[in-house]
Chains A and B, each alone.
Chain A
Amino acid sequence: MTGWTVGTVVEVRAETPTGRSIVVDVPGWRGNIAGQHLDLRLTAPDGYQASRSYSIASVGPDARIQLAVDRFPDGEVSPYLVDEVRPGDQLEVRGPLGGWFVWRPDDPRAVQLIGGGSGVVPLVAMMRSHTAAKSDAPMRLLYSVRSPEDRFFADELERAASVTFVYTRTAPAGWPGEPGRLTRQTLAESALPPGGTTFVCGPTGFVEAVATLLVEIGHDPASVKTERFGGA
């Protein structure tokens, strides 16, 4: 599917104080594999266009696809998607896209997922794909956010096995240790050892810091796949 097509927003849901998930019905959507994204194009009344890429949280052949967006304060598109979009709105989309930052359910290798903020979206797709396929491959998620209410898909992830939350600013009551950035120690304690595949997704700064750490503790750079969301 290489052309633009029009989808209709069917549901919006607040996920965090600055983020929401959006379900879009896209006629003719032939499904996507976990990790793929779509491009979204907006057109202003004067013809001005802006387009951005968004990872797809859902997997499989369903024409109803789920996105999740975090609002960048100086953003041009994310404030519109988080504050303005409502069910019934039409959005131009192109996809599914991407063949590199993807996980296929027939992959037997151990997988470590590491996400920051809204970077968890393609990783949630991978977990959903893993569950649906009843895969035996070891899969873990390390999810870094500022505070508990900043987690996307919080309920789903709390119920899932093999998820470790890292809080960088405010931890819940009773949390062991102080809030802080993801460290070598957290990786050693909660992440799978080198040898499998690692997917890292989130803001550019987060991704580069984590990728550097992974290589420092012995991961083969070729086994670490990254997806940067821009921002800081």
Chain B
Amino acid sequence: MARLDGNVLAGPLSAHFVGDATTAIATCTGCLDTAPLARASVEITAAGFVAHCRGCDGVILIVRDAVALDLVGVEALRISTPRQ
């Protein structure tokens, strides 16, 4: 199936982060490409949402709703919490 993008991670990640996590800036372990999670290339699998780095296609993270979050390819994650 065609890849989606990281916008679709907003719901599944909401079980693991306070606020919207798709604006969090992730650095890929594989190639050090740094971009908001919203820009990741995402495939939906029976194991959950698999987010790939747009630079090298390596897996950045896998999230299965409230069940599991695996930051397998995240070298760094920068989250800014906006002031209300």
Do any beta carbons of A and B sit within 8 angstroms of each other in the complex? yes
Known: A99-B22, A100-B22, A100-B38. A204 touches B4 (CB 8 A): yes
Q: Is A11's beta carbon under 8 Å from chain B?
A: no
Residues from chain B with Cβ under 8 Å of A231 in the complex: 2
Q: Is the CB of A97 within 8 A of B11?
A: yes
How many A residues, CB 8 Å from partner? Answer: 24
Known: A97-B11, A100-B36, A100-B38. A230 touches B20 (CB 8 A): no
Rounded to whole angstroms, the CA-CA distance of A98 and B8 in the bound complex is 8
Contact of B22 among A95, A98, A205 (CB under 8 A): A98
B21–chain A nearest beta-carbon distance, Å: 9
Contact of A226 among B2, B5, B10, B14 (CB under 8 A): B5
How many B residues, CB 8 Å from partner? Answer: 19
Contact of A205 among B2, B6, B20, B23 (CB under 8 A): B2
B residues with a Cβ closer than 8 A to A are 1-8, 10-11, 14-15, 19-20, 22-23, 36, 38-39
What are 25 contact pairs spanning A and B, CB under 8 A?
Answer: A2-B14, A37-B7, A37-B10, A38-B11, A39-B11, A53-B11, A94-B11, A94-B14, A97-B20, A98-B20, A98-B38, A100-B6, A100-B36, A100-B38, A101-B38, A203-B2, A204-B4, A205-B2, A227-B7, A228-B3, A228-B4, A229-B4, A230-B1, A230-B2, A232-B2
